[in-house]
Chain A
Amino acid sequence: MNPDLPMITIRNLKLDARTEHGPAHILRGIDLEFGRGRIVGVVGESGSGKSTLVSCLLRLLPSNIERLEGEILFDGIDLLKLSPSDMNDWRGRKIAMVFQDPMTALNPLFTINTHLRDVLKRRFPQISAREARERSLAMLTKVGISDASVRLDAYPHQLSGGMRQRIVIAMALLVEPDLLLADEPTTALDATVEAQIVDLFDQLRQDFSGSIVFISHHLGLVAELCDDLCVMYGGTIVETGPVAEVLARPRHPYTRALLDCEIEDDHGGRLATIPGEVPSATWAMDACIFASRCAHVADICRRGPTVLETVAIGHKAACKRSREVLP
C-alpha cells in the first residue's frame, strides 16, 4: 500500500432515495479524503446527511435507495464495487462503528460478554472463549469501566447510558479497525458524560493507529478532538480543512454562521439557530445550496451550483464569494 495515498478517498458520492415526493437527494456529490491516524470531525445541522455518509462507508443503507454513484476508495479499493459478501468482510474487521444512541445499541437479551465475544470471534476466528474474555476485560478497563468482570456479565439494562457507550467503544476497539466511525457518540448523553466520552476518545488516540470519523453537531467538541474538519450542509460538503485553520479563518458563510451560533450558545445558554429555511433534499442543485439562508447572497450565487475550491493549503470551501466576504 502506498503510504502517500490517503487512506480514504471519497469522490463525487451521490445518493438518492425514493420518497413519496419524488427522489430525495440525500448526498449531492461528496468529495473528501483523509490519511491514516487522523481524526476527522464532521459537523452540520441535523438532516445534512452526516449519518448517511457513514452508512455509505459501511454500505449499510436503507432499502429505498434509488441511486448510489461515485467512489469510496479505501486503500485504493472501491467499496461501492465490492460484492455484498466481500463488503461484509470489511465490516467489523477494517471498519467499526459507534452509534448515536447507546440505549438501543445493545441487544437487551444478551450479556455484554456475549456481544463482545461474538464480535471478537468474527474478527479473530481462532480466538478461544477464555482469551476473548480476557481481551474484553482488558478493553473494558481501558475504556474506563471499573469492576470490569462484573460489568462483563451484566445485561445492558443494568448499565448506565455512558457505560453502554463505553462498551460500544470497547467493541469497536477490540476489532482493531483501520477506520472507526462514530456517529454523534455523545449526543444522547448528558453534558458531564459527554465530556468524559470525549476525553476517552482523546486518550485512545495514543494507542489507536487507525483513523476516526467523528460526527457531531457541536463545533466546540470537534475543535477539541479532531485534526480535520468537514462541514456538511444539505448533502454537500461546504468547507473542509485542518481544524485550527478552518475555525480560525472560516471561508464559507455557513461555517461562519455555525461558529457564531456556538459563541452565542455559550453566552446566552439557549440553542442559537441560523435563520432561514433548512434545505430540502428534493431541491434541485441549480444554485448554491446555502443561498436561501446566506447573509452575503448575490446574483452570482444563484447561477449554477458551487464546487469546493482550494482557498489555502489543505483548506477548501464551496463559496463563490469567499474571497470577497470572508477574506
Chain B
Amino acid sequence: MRETLRYVASRLATTFLIVLGAMILLFALSALVPGDPATALLGPAATPEYVQRFIQEMGLDQPWYRRLFSFMGNVFVGNLGTDVLSGQPVTRIIANVLPYTFILTFSSIGLAVAFGVPLGCYAATHRGSLLDHLLAFVSVAFIAIPSFVIAIFLLLIFAIWLDWLPVMGAGEAGNWFDQAQRLILPTIALSVGWIGFIARLVRSSMLETMGENFIRLSRAYGLSNRLITYKYALKNACIPTLAVLGMGVGRLLGGAVLVEIVFSRPGLGRLMFDAISTRNFPVLQGTVLVVVLIFVLTNLLVDLSYAAIDPRIRRQGSR
C-alpha cells in the first residue's frame, strides 16, 4: 500500500512538472511570435487607440516575467484569457466543445479496444487461420491510411451515396438519437486503424506470453484454454498494449482534429483550426494547453493502470 502511494505521488509530481514545462514553452512561443502581437491579432485595420487599449487590457506592456507569472496564475485558477473576437472567456469556449471531442475520442478508443483485443486474442490462439491472415493484411492497410482519408470515404459512401446516416455537425442538442447517429461515422473513421493496430499488438504480445514457462505450467495443470488465454496471458499482453496506447493518444487526438473538420463537428480540433485561420492567439494558446493537459493526464492514467496490473512496477516506484 505504501509502495503504491509513493508510486502515485511520484507520477503525479512528474505530471505536474511536465504541465509546468508546457506552460512555460507556450508562453515563450507567444513572446517569440514575430511582430507585434496586438497588430497580429487585431489586423492592420485596427485604429492606434484601439491597439493601445488592447495592449493595456491584455497586459502586453508588462515585463515578460510579470506576464509569465500572471499567465501561470491565471491558468491555475482555470482562466485561459479572453477571446478577442467574441469577448467570451476562452475557458468557457473550450468547455463548450470539449465534451464533443471527449465523446469522439473515447468512443473511438472504446471501439478499437472492444474489437482489437478479441481479434488479437483470436489471431494469437488460431495462428495461420484465415482470420489471422486476413487481419495481417487488412490491418496493415488500415494502419497506413490516415483517418481523415477514411473519414472522407465513409462520408461519401454512407452519407452521400447510400444516404444511411446523417452527418455534419454533432446533432441537435438534447436529441440523443440524432447525436449518436452522427457519432457513428467519425468514430469508425478514427478507430479502424486502431483496431488493426491493437489487434496486431495484442496478437504479438500474446504469442510471446504463450511461450512463457508459466503458461506451460498452467497447461500442465489442465487449466482451460479460455482461462489461460483471457485471464493469464491477456493480462501479460496488456502491458505492452497499454504502453503503445498511451503514446497513441496523441496521434488519436491529432486524428480527431482532422476528422472533426471533415465532418464539421464542433470540438477541440475545429476550435484550433478556426483559431489558426483567424489568428486568434488566446484561443489557440488555450486549446493547445488543454490538449497538452489531456495528453499528459492520459499518460498518467496509463502509468497508473500499469501499476495496477503489474505488481513489480509498484515496488520499483518508477519505471
Contacts and interface: CB of A to CB of B under 8 A. Distances in A.
A109 B221 contact: no
Which one of A90, A109, A171 has the highest number of Cβ atoms from chain B below 10 Å of its Cβ? A109
A107 B232 contact: yes
A106 B214 contact: yes
A105 B315 contact: no
B311 A155 contact: yes
Given A106-B214, A118-B227, A97 B220 contact: yes
Contacts of A175: 221
A101 B212 CA distance: 11
Contact of A105 (B214, B231, B236): B214
Contacts of A96: 220-221
Interface string A81-123: 0000000111111011101010011111110000000110010
Given A101-B213, A106-B214, A90 B222 contact: yes
Interface residues of B, number: 23
Contacts of B212: 104, 107
A157 B311 contact: yes
A97 B217 contact: yes
B310 interface: yes
Contacts of B86: none
A175 B227 CA distance: 18
A244 interface: no
A92 B221 CA distance: 4
Contacts of B315: 157-158
Contacts of A77: none
Secondary structure call for the A interface: mixed
A261 to B, nearest CB: 29
Given A101-B213, A107-B214, A92 B311 contact: no
B45 to A, nearest CB: 64
Given A93-B222, A119-B221, A109 B310 contact: yes
A110 B228 CA distance: 12
A58 to B, nearest CB: 6
Which one of A93, A101, A110, A171 has the highest number of Cβ atoms from chain B below 10 Å of its Cβ? A110
Contacts of A89: 222
Contacts of B312: 108, 155, 157
A107 B213 CA distance: 9
Contacts of A104: 212-214
Interface residues of A, number: 29
B213 A108 contact: no
A171 B315 CA distance: 26
B223 interface: yes
A264 to B, nearest CB: 33
A99 B216 contact: yes
A168 interface: yes
A60 interface: yes
Which one of B213, B222, B232 has the highest number of Cβ atoms from chain A below 10 Å of its Cβ? B222
A151 B218 CA distance: 20
A263 B248 CA distance: 61
Given A99-B213, A104-B214, A109 B222 contact: no
A105 B222 contact: no
B171 to A, nearest CB: 42
A176 B312 CA distance: 32
Given A88-B222, A90-B222, A92-B222, A110 B217 contact: no
A109 B219 contact: no
Contacts of A90: 222
A60 B220 contact: yes
B136 to A, nearest CB: 19
B126 interface: no
B235 interface: yes
B309 A92 contact: no
Interface of B: 212-224, 227, 231-232, 235-236, 309-312, 315
6 contacts: A91-B220, A92-B222, A99-B220, A107-B236, A118-B218, A122-B223
Given A99-B216, A107-B235, A108-B214, 16 more contacts: A60-B220, A91-B219, A93-B222, A97-B221, A99-B213, A99-B220, A105-B213, A105-B214, A107-B215, A108-B236, A109-B236, A109-B310, A110-B232, A110-B235, A119-B223, A175-B221
